[in-house]
Amino acid sequence: MKRVILAACLAVALVGRSAHAGSIGVGVFGGLSVPVVQSDVEQGSMFGVRVPIKLVPLVAVEPYFASSALGDAQEDVLGVTYTREGFDSKAYGANVMLTMGGPLQFYPFAGIGQTKLKRPGSDLSLTTYNFGLGLGISPAPKISVHIRGELAAAVDGEASRKFANATVGLSYALFSAP
């Protein structure tokens, strides 16, 4: 998985050199992660970092790391309430985004990564596919605010654990070239 992500970044970097345009930034984000059709875990908070790399017009690659503390699930059995601890989730990967530029951006994105879901008696490491939509607003040079909604599907055998994530982030352009 790491090799795929590194290869993706490298490929974009190489192609980007010929295009003579680009930027590299860093961003933080936080929000809510909501399990989709999962009765054994509840919604929780998430936060993370992103490194948007734009080396060709319209396309950006964005390695990311995200951490989520998912909520506990409860089940009433014969009058006793039992609690199953929510997953501690750690995810990393890379998204590819179609960005239009300008102070207001509306962009789709998709990506691949690895998600580690851990709780007592369970320790999973799953390939994850992400896709979603983002809205970027740049109130000042080098600074942009991003609001995103995404669906992340962590593939577990023949099924998957799905999460709907809503995040707000702040990015800063460390370097940009015309």
Partner 1 sequence: MKNIRLWLPGIALAGLISAGCMLISGQFTVVYTFADPINVVSPSALAGQVVDLNTISEYKDHKDNLKAVVDLAVLGKFTNLTSTNSAIEIWIVPSPGAALTNDAAVRASGQKIWGPLNVAGNSSVNVTWDQSAALFTGRQALITEVKGDGVFALYALANGPYSFRINKGAFIAVISAGR
Among left, alpha and beta (phi > 0; psi -120 to 50; other), residue 37 is left
Contact residue for partner 1 among 10, 58, 133, 174 (CB under 8 A) = 58
In the bound complex, what is the minimum distance in angstroms from residue 37's beta carbon to partner 1?
Answer: 3
Q: Does the footprint of partner 1 cover residue 158 (CB under 8 A)?
A: yes
| Residue selected from 83, 102, 139, 178 as contacting partner 1 according to rule CB under 8 A | 83
Q: What is the distance between the alpha carbons of residues 125 and 43, in angstroms, rounded to a whole number?
A: 19
Q: Is the dihedral of CA 6, 10, 12, 16 positive or negative?
A: positive
Query: Per CB under 8 A, does 59 bind partner 1?
Result: yes
Q: What is the chain's length?
A: 178
In angstroms, give the least distance from the CB of 143 to partner 1.
25
Residue number, 57 or 142, with CB nearest to partner 1: 57
Residue 6 or 110: the one with the smaller Cβ distance to partner 1 is 110
Q: Which two tokens stand for residue 100?
A: 């239009």
Between the alpha carbon of residue 74 and those of residues 35, 163, 174, the distances in Å are 14, 19, 45
Minimum distance from residue 20 beta carbon to partner 1 (Å):
12
| φ/ψ (deg, to 5) at 85 | -60, 140
Sign, CA dihedral 29-31-34-35, equals: positive
Contact between 129 and partner 1 (CB under 8 A)?
yes
Which residues are near partner 1 by CB under 8 A?
A: 8, 11-12, 15, 19, 36-41, 56-59, 73, 75, 77-80, 82-85, 96-98, 108-112, 119-122, 127, 129-131, 153, 155-162
